[in-house]
Chain A
Amino acid sequence: MNDDRPLTCDRLAESLDDYLDGTADGLTRVVLEAHLAGCPTCPALVADVRAIRQAARALGPIEPPAQVWMRLQARVAVEAPARASLLDRLGLSGRSFGWRTLQAAGAVAGLALVVSSLAWMGTRLAVAPADVADGSGALAEFQLAEAEYTDAIARLQEAADAAGPRLDALTNATLQSSIDDIDSAIGDARESLAREPGDALSQESLLDALGSKVALLQDTVSLAGDIEPGTEEQKP
């Protein structure tokens, strides 16, 4: 505010933070207080802004609903071993995550197919030159991954159907809406593949959509408390 312009109500806001913080320079402070002494409206503005700032600064954390942690656990449970497996297949981890190891670690139902999916990805990354020519190796791996996804979805769907009545109507409606969206994406990808069975982009899209469905069905089951994340044990 160190210029020659007169302080108007509109310009008061420019220096208000510095004034309220006590960091305005002496001249600004004098000019501003002189304006406040003679202005019919600005004192109320300053008082209100002071009250809003104080109330805003006092706003604390908001604890998220419990289901956020449950959903997060389910997402990480699927993702973490899958990433470890991918690193392993790319030779970056130095550890072996075979199917039996994962099973022994208590992986949830969808995990096996994630590994299969990554096997398919690994095949695409490291496919032998002869297979590249006819695409047979990658296609076979893709079909295997798709079959395992489909099988896991069927098993999870049964558990989710049983869990449904334990969830409230809004949650069920939200989950169903998401399932519908995913099913639509699955349908689109399958249509594309019917036209071009070897199209890598459509294969990826289909596996992504199937993976999303697995994750959502796992969320559904976890939400209902049917299974503890990371185990297959049924609650009594």
Chain B
Amino acid sequence: MRADDLELARRCRAGDAAAFETMYRAHAGRLFGLLTRMTGSAHDAEDLLQDVFVQAHRKLAGFRGESSLGTWLYRLAVNHCLDHLRGKHSRMARSTDSLDAEEAAEPAAVAPALPEAIARIDLERAIAQLPAGCRAAFVLHDVEGLDHREVGEALGISEGTSKSQVHKARMKLRVLLRGVTRGALEAV
């Protein structure tokens, strides 16, 4: 796999457009999913995905095959996305803070449980509605499978904060998804 990656990177560096497209087709879906969920915006994710591959094009000379090409691109994407979110947060600090401070109402004790199989589209929509901070932690932990130490390192927060952010995201998702379920049931 690494030899294939190195060869693909070598061809991209040499200006082989077909190789660059192969790299894009192989990894764009995973990265676009990550970026869409991290930002909560498909529009922002489109711009970021382009930026990531332009950066990759510039930086391929530094790819040594120490990790797979997929992992290398994934790191580029996470770092670029976090830069974007930090910039966005600093520009919109007031409104974001108020969003983050807004606690979701805890569901009533007797509320019906979520269905065992949550519809993908419902979950995607609910993730997009999460506040930026806890959304990033949730996506990296629950969707991407990073452990709390890795999430903490990526986001520049402690492991404990990662746990609390993921918990906060799940509680908000629970409320959002129950709203969807109730709406669906009432519509029947």
Contacts and interface: CB of A to CB of B under 8 A. Distances in A.
B69 interface: no
A49 interface: yes
A63 B113 contact: no
Interface string B130-156: 000000001000110100100000000
Given A52-B118, A59-B124, A80-B57, A44 B111 contact: yes
Q: Is the interface of A mostly helix, strand, loop or mixed?
A: helix
A69 B24 contact: yes
Contact of B142 (A44, A56, A72, A84): A56
Given A17-B163, A80-B15, A58 B120 contact: yes
B118 A60 contact: no
Contacts of A17: 148, 163, 166
A65 B28 CA distance: 10
Given A49-B170, A72-B54, A76-B20, A56 B143 contact: yes
A202 B7 CA distance: 42
A59 B57 contact: no
Contacts of B118: 51-52, 54-55
B143 A59 contact: yes
Contact of B57 (A48, A54, A76): A76
A61 B116 CA distance: 22
Interface string B15-40: 10100110010001110110011000
A104 B111 CA distance: 70
A51 B114 CA distance: 7
B57 to A, nearest CB: 6
Nearest to A63: B29
22 contacts: A13-B163, A13-B164, A44-B111, A49-B170, A52-B123, A53-B142, A56-B143, A57-B145, A59-B120, A59-B124, A59-B143, A60-B33, A62-B29, A64-B28, A65-B46, A68-B50, A72-B50, A72-B53, A75-B50, A75-B54, A79-B54, A230-B17
A56 B57 contact: no
Interface string A1-45: 000000000000110110000000000000000000000110011
B143 A64 contact: no
A211 to B, nearest CB: 14
Contacts of A57: 142-143, 145
Given A68-B49, A76-B57, 9 more contacts: A13-B167, A17-B166, A44-B113, A51-B113, A52-B118, A59-B33, A59-B123, A59-B143, A68-B28
B29 A64 contact: yes
Nearest to B20: A76
A64 B109 CA distance: 40
Contacts of B113: 44, 47-48, 51
A52 B173 contact: yes
A77 B54 CA distance: 10
A63 B116 CA distance: 26
A143 B58 CA distance: 28
A155 interface: no
Contact of A52 (B15, B53, B145, B170): B170
B180 to A, nearest CB: 12
Contacts of B20: 76
Contacts of A62: 29, 32-33, 36
A79 to B, nearest CB: 7
Contacts of A80: 15, 57
